[in-house]
Amino acid sequence: MHDDRSIVEHRLRRVLEERVRPALYSASVPLSVGRWDAPGEPVPVAEGLAAPYAPAAAGEAWGPAWGTSWFRLTGRVPEEWAGRTVEAVLDLGFERMSPGFQSEGLVYRADGEAVKGLHPRNDWVRIGDRVAGGEEVELYVEAAANPVLNGQRPTYEGDRLTSGDAPLYRLNRLDLAVFEPAVWELIQDLEVLRGLMEQLSADDARRHEILRALERALDALDIDDVPGTAEGARAEVAAVLAAPAHASAHRLSAVGHAHIDSAWLWPLRETVRKVARTCANMTALMDEHPEFVFAMSQAQQLAWIKEHRPEVFARVKEKIAAGQFVPVGGMWVESDTNMVGGEAMARQFLYGKRFFLEEFGIETEEVWLPDSFGYTAAMPQLVKLAGAKWFLTQKISWSQTNAFPHHTFWWEGIDGTRVFTHFPPVDTYNSELSGRELAHAARNYREKGRGSRSLVPFGHGDGGGGATREMLARAARCRDLEGSPRVAIERPAAFFEQAHEEYADAAPVWVGELYLELHRGTYTSQAKTKQGNRFSESLLREAELWAATAAIRVPEYAYPYEELERLWKTVLLHQFHDILPGSSIAWVHREARETYARVHAELRDIVDGAQRALAGPGSDEIVFNGAPHARNGVPAGGAARAVTGRAVEGIEGVEGMEAGAVSAVERPGGGWVLANGVLRAEIDGRGLLVSAYDLRARREALAPGRAANLLQLHPDLPNFWDAWDIDAFYRHRVTDLTEVEELRLIADGPDAATVEVRRAFGNSTVTQVVTLREDSATLEIAADIDWHEKEKILKAAFPLDVKADRSAAETQFGHVHRPTHTNTSWEAAKFEICAHRWIQVEEPGWGAALVNDSTYGHDVTRDVRADGGQTTTVRLSLLRAPRYPDPETDQGRHRLRYGLALGAGTLDAVREGHWINLPERTVPGSRAVEPLVGVDNDAVVVEAVKLAEDRGGDVVVRLYEAAGGRASATLTAGFPVAEAYATDLLERPLADAPPYAVTEGGRVAVALRPFQILTLRLSPRRA
């Protein structure tokens, strides 16, 4: 038989696009249009509805970037349309290929009720199925002129302060139209069969069976009367659509979804409206399709519509009660998980899950993070402690180098906790349920022969919009269709329960972090956003610690519950995976800087108020130590009278510490030698560190002939995704910044010795202040950088004389080890890595750590020298300068602090990392403050001390084992304790954990496994 496949396929494409789709609406009349352009920012709905509208018409230009226009649409259904299905077709000037990334609208009735959202793939509003002739129509559209910014090109449209005022859009079609249901159903039939056919092998009989049925349907269709012949064409494909799937067909659990970035190529205020549009869309779709299930994460987004769109929230709540709208995830936002601090990760779950419980009575069991840029190895334990059972993500499928070997597996964290995890093999969280996507999911699934099912999130996402009626039609046709995976719309929990039952015993185990081999630049981009987050986390720790201590010790002090919760939620919001990673537009980061400044000021006020209440009246200097380790004679979490000392002068951000015998002498050939009996540091005439000698261990830390604290500048133009990516070839070119403009000694002891180094490079300058303090094994560096480079990355290098085959980097509640070698492609792909407050390398008997106050990006490399020794070079990534999506990323002044700690083991690194992030604070007063909680083993670190969220007055203490081994400790409470018991992250008693014994003096003995997180709730003994 002759092969005419391509002829039939081309015929199908043309007839479908040029004849069938245009016949969806058989008659139309234009709506009358009124227009009002809101001045400035969006206005409340009532104001928009009552605004003075001026006449407008299709074809008009509208919408400068970030502007809002309101359109009033009125009309009358023609008498001859009586009994027909009528829709309003509202095309605001959409480009069909970019839903969620351009203009959008929300449709209202005259009474302010939200109807549904509008976007390029969803531009209709149903007026009625059997309308009455002469029916009056009145609709209002709140239209957002969001600029198209997803083109990967530098643009100043990403901030309303720098965007242009020219109209971006032109009204297209604003009509009432007769909707032809038979034509719509025919479109869905043809689309599903074409998509399936194209995925089947050319030698598969099923492909040819579908081809011939499609050919018969085209023959039955009169292209001059598509509505009149659509049913006849459908009859020709009915049999192939009714053929059941094979018994072994892959099973897909389809879950409606709209991944809405809480900020990205739009500001936070626009996300509030995106959420309202999407939720209005989804609840309207549920009315028409009771089988439809839609999952939505991010408690913050639901809290937004509760506040800003209560009528939409009421509809959401109704559908949640009906089981169609399903809250998932249990986190406040879909946060980054690489850089978020340990306590902040715990609070993501605390506030997220608590919102779902309080608002809907739902205990979410799945953690839903499809789009974050890699996943911390601490996550499995946090998932379990949050009361969840499952974990879902998609992003690892984006990895550049290695294909992840599993789709359903047990993920084991650093402490040994395992969580049942799924990566949807469809490789998207924005599926349209196309034939290509369904076939890819079935082919791609890596657990064949052991498991048989996967999950597919479907719906327009990123910018929102959600599922469409067309997607539901595809799901219905593919429920049991030969040649296709079986598709069932169901709740995520149903998938996880079935997959777990089918596969749990045989599922493979992945141990450690889920490192994304992409988007490594997000550890560094937008340094001030990252610094704002780190400082906020540290201040929140202090605010809770001192406020809890004051609330227990000072009768008149009131714990600031509302303020702390509000501030925590603000910080958690800004940990969203396009804000904290630095991959949002300029507007987002400008607002983030402003927000962090307000947060920091408010938290400092809380800290100061609590400390003054504790210190009492008087003029003595009372030194407060908020770190989890004793410092300068002040216990952890306590305060004592200050010992007279002299502060170091230098650039802003260098904290003064206590006095000691520190010397500074001129170095032959230029520079200075700083020493304190513990460490001797030599800074040469170039201002570089050429020796760091550990006097206790009698060994040099730096590799022979190498200089440390060396600033290095690389070109940084990745192939794609500027703010997101660092590509390995950036290392091919490097400029060492060795020229010095000024080198001077600015403090020469006895308490500290400090050398200032000034450099200029390109269009930028840097001033480094290098300080050695009393009895300290850490050389501190404060860098004041006025940064004006473009498409460059600045690193600080420390070549160490250490034979280290792996590095240890702090992560949440512990640390992760990563190889320094590149034996396999998996190790080679980790050429840029994330660390929190410290990164450490060691050989048996000696190690060194780099600590920092706000840096996350690092790299560690190794070389063998001619003398046979190994140089392990640790570098901090200080600043980047990508141009998309913010063309001015990181331009301006930055103050960063870091330090080299000699002879540092893991616990030394933990201690020094906390110290550089939690400076001592001094207030006037008269009394010392004993710690509210103390622990007698440095391997057990107190992460948080606070009062319980239920406001019952209990003290909550979160501890973790920090060294990676087993640890026993005695926790001593500085108040009478009636009861002590372990809780989950929501501060609820753990079902399988009996109360702890409380001995005399408020002592509680604890034993922790490696990296275990323990949350203790201590009930004070009431009089």
CA angle 328, 351, 575 (to 5 degrees): 85
Q: Give which of 511, 385, 542 is closest to 1013, Cα–Cα.
A: 385
Alpha-carbon gap, residue 191 to 207, rounded angstroms: 14
DSSP per position, 663-706? EEEEPTTSEEEEE-SSEEEEEETTS-EEEEEETTTTEE-BPTT-
Phi-psi region of 951 (alpha: psi -120 to 50; beta: other; left: phi over 0): left
Alpha-carbon gap, residue 1006 to 933, rounded angstroms: 13
Contacts of residues 317-324 at CB distance under 8 Å and 24 or more positions apart, as own/partner, are 317/359, 317/360, 318/283, 319/282, 319/283, 319/286, 319/294, 320/360, 320/362, 321/360, 322/286, 323/293, 323/491, 324/286, 324/290, 324/292, 324/293, 324/294
CA angle 173, 179, 185 (to 5 degrees): 120
351: helix, strand or coil: helix
Other C-beta atoms closer than 10 Å to the C-beta of 296 total 25
Alpha-carbon gap, residue 361 to 354, rounded angstroms: 9
For residue 52, the one-letter residue type is P
Phi-psi region of 395 (alpha: psi -120 to 50; beta: other; left: phi over 0): alpha
To the nearest 10 degrees (0 to 180), the angle between helices 586-615 and 527-553 is 20
CB neighbours of 641 closer than 8 A, spacing ≥ 6? 620, 621, 622, 623, 928
Q: Give which of 574, 609, 616, 576 is closest to 593, Cα–Cα.
A: 574
> Is 908 a residue of the active site?
no
Other C-beta atoms closer than 10 Å to the C-beta of 762 total 13
Alpha-carbon gap, residue 266 to 160, rounded angstroms: 10
Alpha-carbon gap, residue 719 to 717, rounded angstroms: 7
Q: Which of 123, 175, 336, 371 is the catalytic position?
A: 371
The DSSP 8-state label assigned to residue 395 in this structure reads: G
Q: Which residues pair with 170 in a beta bridge?
A: 61
598-634 residues labelled b (16+ CB within 10 A) or e (exposed)? ebbebbeebbebbbbbbbeeeebebbbbbbbbbbbeb
Q: Is the distance from CB of 814 to CB of 1013 less than 8 angstroms?
A: no
CB neighbours of 783 closer than 8 A, spacing ≥ 6? 766, 767, 768, 769, 796, 878, 894, 895, 896, 897, 898
CA separation, residue 437 to residues 120, 236, 240, 428, 456 (Å)? 21, 25, 20, 9, 9
Beta-strand pair 792-800/710-715: antiparallel
Q: Is the distance from CB of 708 to CB of 799 less than 8 angstroms?
A: yes
Contacts of residues 16-23 at CB distance under 8 Å and 24 or more positions apart, as own/partner, are 16/187, 16/190, 16/191, 16/194, 19/221, 19/223, 19/226, 20/183, 20/186, 20/187, 20/190, 20/221, 20/226, 20/230, 21/187, 23/180, 23/183, 23/226, 23/227, 23/230
Q: Tokens 């502007």: give the residue.
A: 67
CA angle 605, 837, 911 (to 5 degrees): 85
CA separation, residue 597 to residues 145, 539, 570, 786 (Å)? 30, 12, 12, 20
Residues marked as catalytic: 371
